[in-house]
Structure 1
Amino acid sequence: MPNKPKEVLDRRDFMLAPIVTAGMSAALATNASIVNAQDNSASSAVPASQGTVYVGDVIDGRKVVSKLDVNDLTPGQKHLLYFQGVEMPTGQHWYVSVTVARGAKPGKRGVLVSGVHGDEMSSIHTVQTVMDQLDPAQMSGTVMAVADVSRPALESMQRRWPNQGRGIDLIDMNREWPGNEDGATAPSRHAGLLFNRLLRPNADFAIDFHTGTTGFEVTAFNIAGMDVPEVKAMVELYPVGQIFDNHVYPGVLHNAFMDLGIPSFTPEIGAARVLDLTMIPLFVEGTMNVLKHHGIVAGPMGRTSKDVAVFIGNSAFPILATAGGIIQHLVKLNDKVEPGQPVAIQRNSFGEVVAEYRSGVTGEVTGQRSDAMSEPGNPLVFILFNKVAPEDVETYPE
């Protein structure tokens, strides 16, 4: 296997950048993310054993830290802090909110992350809901939640970080991990600070919550490497209908954890910019199951994958627009499809059908364009399916 994918394409933007061709394939080398992690963090690694550092500032009554060791916090309580992130051109900092439920008894440490993309509201609400359900006095172990990683993107509820260093750039922060504290861009430095000083030192396992991107909705599913037993055990505790069994791309947060032997995966919770109050409870229930699995909280398990007809696929087949016009979907999320089955049609301004789109595989619909208009090259549908040869697993074109 090569150390670098032939074409590293962005799985999370669902084709918001130009692509060369539909059905583009690339080998997904699991060791590529390891090489990337070494390159990015070599000059900025911080020993995980360093203790908490308070900078002396207080924002809205919350103390500000530049490093955190959850073991320094009082057991049996919830703690609300701000983490001092990257410095802005003005010399001020972006601050990230941190909620820690430190159990009364020792145990595993779980990290819940959301807000890596600025348009992903359901992921943030899921993490907040889980934290609201925790009673530290009854817990064994610690759960730390970070809900607004990409602060400047969240300020305008847009996907990418608007970087100002060399003129306006829009940078996908979920291609920056583990970051580099001395990196060339603010998102890279921000990722390095968070990963080295906040996330990595406090994680025995980690879950990085996301949604679909603006203009493209997804069903409820988890992205995970099911060949890792510790990860498989956690993912199967979610009562959601699909699992994308794939190690996906270097640079995503859950792979930065995995490269260090910290079990991690990514839940995907519906559409961007909204609260999906139907899907969110499924991921809250699954996350609480994970905390029970690790002995952090007590109580019976809720519903799991055994209670739903879960479909597991190792690849996603993209159907891309070949024309401009209004899209009419002929299938829904989670629908089963067969090769040759019509999945969408497209009409021009006169109402004439200018394109028809069909599935090329047997699988289930995992994502659809939610914007009614499309230009050529936009993704219209993604279909979760299984390829026989793992080295030929198709990547998401962006």
Structure 2
Amino acid sequence: MFGLSVVSIAAANDKGRIMSEEATDCLDRRNFMIASIASAGASAALIAGAANAQEATAASADAEAGTAYTGDTIRGKKVVSALDVNDLEAGKRHLLYFQGVETPTGQHWYVSVTVAKGAKPGKRVVLTSGVHGDEMSSIHTVQTVMNQLDPVEMSGTVMAVTDVSRPALESMQRRWPNQGRGIDLIDMNREWPGNENGLTAANRHAGLLFNRLLRPNADVAIDFHTGTTGFEVSAFNIGEIGRPEVKAMLDLYPVGQILDMPKAAYPTVLHNAFLDAGIPAFAPEIGAARVLDPGMIELFVEGTMNVLKHHGIVAGPMGRTAEGMAVFVGNSGFPVLATAGGIVEHLVKLTDRVEPGQKLAIQRDSFGHVVAEYTSAVAGEVIGQRSDAMSEPGNPLVIVLFSKTVSDGVEVYPE
């Protein structure tokens, strides 16, 4: 899941009820924080500017160089530091490792690359997962799609990278553990398109992958996610329906919710980096973290195979799509935040339709007394819920997908 980035939220009153009229105060406080941080970042911008210039030169050179083999093998698979799928033999499946960022010991983080290279030319589709280390259903979805492909029968290429954030996956946690300036946890889905000369390992890793592996081999890209540890989401897609080429793909998934989020709101997530490079892209969300959800996985495998058929990469009739479904489209998410500590009891389920003032959850203390009640300030559908029963103040309990009609106000991006 794409974490919770709040542009403005409704705070809760002393009784725990969510009061939307307080959103303006929250927005003012956030703007004050941003202004304070901006002055502190001025000197860092000088360093970043020089690094960006070096990165642009390196990326250009790599794009012209094509595939670069390091000469190493891992478990019998060749290692590359740059890849051009046009260099690979057609009609075959290729298993490689990509050499990512260097570690403090001088080794590298490697990511697995599976390429199904069709016997005939055609579109190139890139499928990514594992940007967050606790998102298992997204990885399994991509693996299942790849296992269904027969390169001999394909026109075009499908490339899959299922372990983008390797250090996070090693401990099945959301963020990349970074040691560059003391222990830190970095959300890699706020680092794209990255910088090969950046100040953190995660940023450099993103730059290497985007410049040398992902962008050069993509005509279309899909970046798969799930909810995050402690917070599950429904089956939905994040994509700009105002882009016809994206909307056409979103309609090919048999899921009932779409978050229509403009690229400008969160420019540093992976699918938006693809959009900036002129590559149609979107992000599916597939249930809870740390587990496999077979029912949801099936929906997204079917939708992704539909996308491949839509682009002429594989043949065959379309599977289930959104046609005939009552798809709920919203452009914002309303977060209901805990105002007390205690055990949370949900009164609604994922995908439930809710109305303003409707009670969504209650919270009890250690004596079983109700210490807070939580209501919705908007009309919409439940798109996410806290799955951990215990909560402290400030934790998101529910996110309601809704359509806002003004440019300010609530704006939450569930990644």
User: What is the distance in 1 between the residues matched to 2:249 and 2:413?
Assistant: 28
User: Relative to structure 2, which stretch is displaced further, 344-353 or 48-57?
Assistant: 48-57
User: What is the distance in 1 between the residues matched to 2:52 and 2:233?
Assistant: 32
User: Relative to structure 2, which stretch is displaced further, 327-336 or 223-232?
Assistant: 223-232
User: What is the distance in 2 between the residues matched to 1:237 and 1:222?
Assistant: 11
Asked if 1 retains the 8 angstrom alpha-carbon contact of 2:2 and 2:413, the reply is: no
Name the SS for the 2:54 alignment partner.
coil
Specify the alignment match of 1:365 in structure 2.
382
TM-aligned CA deviation for residue 396 of structure 1? 1.7
Specify the alignment match of 1:166 in structure 2.
181
Specify the alignment match of 2:152 in structure 1.
137
Specify the alignment match of 2:195 in structure 1.
180
User: What is the distance in 2 between the residues matched to 1:43 and 1:308?
Assistant: 49
Structure 1 pair 51/393, CA: closer, same or farther in 2 (3 Å)? farther
Q: Among residues 121, 141, 149, which one is paired with 2:136 in the alignment?
A: 121
Task: Say if 2:353 is the partner of 1:336.
Answer: yes
User: What is the distance in 1 between the residues matched to 2:129 and 2:178?
Assistant: 20
Asked if 2 retains the 8 angstrom alpha-carbon contact of 1:41 and 1:192, the reply is: no
Q: Among residues 248, 251, 274, which one is paired with 2:291 in the alignment?
A: 274
User: What is the distance in 1 between the residues matched to 2:341 and 2:186?
Assistant: 27
Specify the alignment match of 1:30 in structure 2.
none
Specify the alignment match of 2:342 in structure 1.
325
TM-aligned CA deviation for residue 130 of structure 1? 0.2
Cα shift readout 1:231-257 (whole Å, capped 9, x = no counterpart) = 111111100010000124121000101
User: What is the distance in 2 between the residues matched to 1:294 and 1:214?
Assistant: 34
**Pairing of 1:69-88 with structure 2 (within 5 A):** 69-88=84-103
User: What is the distance in 1 between the residues matched to 2:89 and 2:124?
Assistant: 15
Task: Say if 2:396 is the partner of 1:379.
Answer: yes
TM-aligned CA deviation for residue 268 of structure 1? 0.3
Q: Among residues 44, 60, 66, which one is paired with 2:55 in the alignment?
A: 44
C-alpha RMSD of the superposition: 2.0
Name the SS for the 2:295 alignment partner.
coil
Specify the alignment match of 2:227 in structure 1.
212
Tell me the amino acid that sits aligned with residue 346 of structure 2: H
Task: Say if 2:322 is the partner of 1:305.
Answer: yes
Specify the alignment match of 1:12 in structure 2.
2
Q: TM-score if structure 1 supplies the norm length?
A: 0.91
Asked if 1 retains the 8 angstrom alpha-carbon contact of 2:131 and 2:164, the reply is: yes
Specify the alignment match of 2:276 in structure 1.
259
Tell me the amino acid that sits aligned with residue 198 of structure 2: G
Q: Among residues 299, 304, 307, which one is paired with 1:287 in the alignment?
A: 304
Specify the alignment match of 2:410 in structure 1.
394
Tell me the amino acid that sits aligned with residue 256 of structure 2: G
TM-aligned CA deviation for residue 388 of structure 1? 1.5
TM-aligned CA deviation for residue 309 of structure 1? 1.8
Q: Percent identity?
A: 74
TM-aligned CA deviation for residue 20 of structure 1? 9.9
Asked if 2 retains the 8 angstrom alpha-carbon contact of 1:317 and 1:383, the reply is: yes
Tell me the amino acid that sits aligned with residue 240 of structure 1: V
User: What is the distance in 2 between the residues matched to 1:188 and 1:196?
Assistant: 12
TM-aligned CA deviation for residue 260 of structure 1? 1.2
Asked if 2 retains the 8 angstrom alpha-carbon contact of 1:15 and 1:378, the reply is: no
Specify the alignment match of 1:234 in structure 2.
249
TM-aligned CA deviation for residue 62 of structure 1? 0.3
Cα shift readout 1:304-346 (whole Å, capped 9, x = no counterpart) = 1114221100110110001100000000000000000000000
TM-aligned CA deviation for residue 272 of structure 1? 0.4
Asked if 2 retains the 8 angstrom alpha-carbon contact of 1:221 and 1:269, the reply is: yes
Name the SS for the 1:250 alignment partner.
coil
Asked if 1 retains the 8 angstrom alpha-carbon contact of 2:129 and 2:138, the reply is: yes
Asked if 2 retains the 8 angstrom alpha-carbon contact of 1:174 and 1:252, the reply is: yes
Structure 1 pair 338/297, CA: closer, same or farther in 2 (3 Å)? same
Tell me the amino acid that sits aligned with residue 273 of structure 1: R
Name the SS for the 1:297 alignment partner.
coil
User: What is the distance in 2 between the residues matched to 1:15 and 1:179?
Assistant: 19
Specify the alignment match of 2:16 in structure 1.
none
Larger Rg: 2
Structure 1 pair 228/41, CA: closer, same or farther in 2 (3 Å)? farther
Tell me the amino acid that sits aligned with residue 181 of structure 2: R
Q: Which runs of 5+ in 1 are unaligned?
A: 1-10, 28-35
Cα shift readout 1:60-79 (whole Å, capped 9, x = no counterpart) = 01000000000000000000
Runs of at least 4 residues of structure 1 off by over 6 A? none
Specify the alignment match of 2:162 in structure 1.
147
User: What is the distance in 1 between the residues matched to 2:237 and 2:89?
Assistant: 33
Specify the alignment match of 2:35 in structure 1.
none
Cα shift readout 1:129-180 (whole Å, capped 9, x = no counterpart) = 0000000000000000000000000000000000011110000000000000
TM-aligned CA deviation for residue 12 of structure 1? 1.9
Tell me the amino acid that sits aligned with residue 201 of structure 1: P
**Structure (1 or 2) with the greater helix fraction:** 2
Name the SS for the 2:80 alignment partner.
strand
Q: How many residues align?
A: 376
Q: TM-score if structure 2 supplies the norm length?
A: 0.87
Tell me the amino acid that sits aligned with residue 342 of structure 1: K
TM-aligned CA deviation for residue 41 of structure 1? 4.8
Tell me the amino acid that sits aligned with residue 244 of structure 1: L
TM-aligned CA deviation for residue 43 of structure 1? 3.1
User: What is the distance in 1 between the residues matched to 2:78 and 2:413?
Assistant: 42
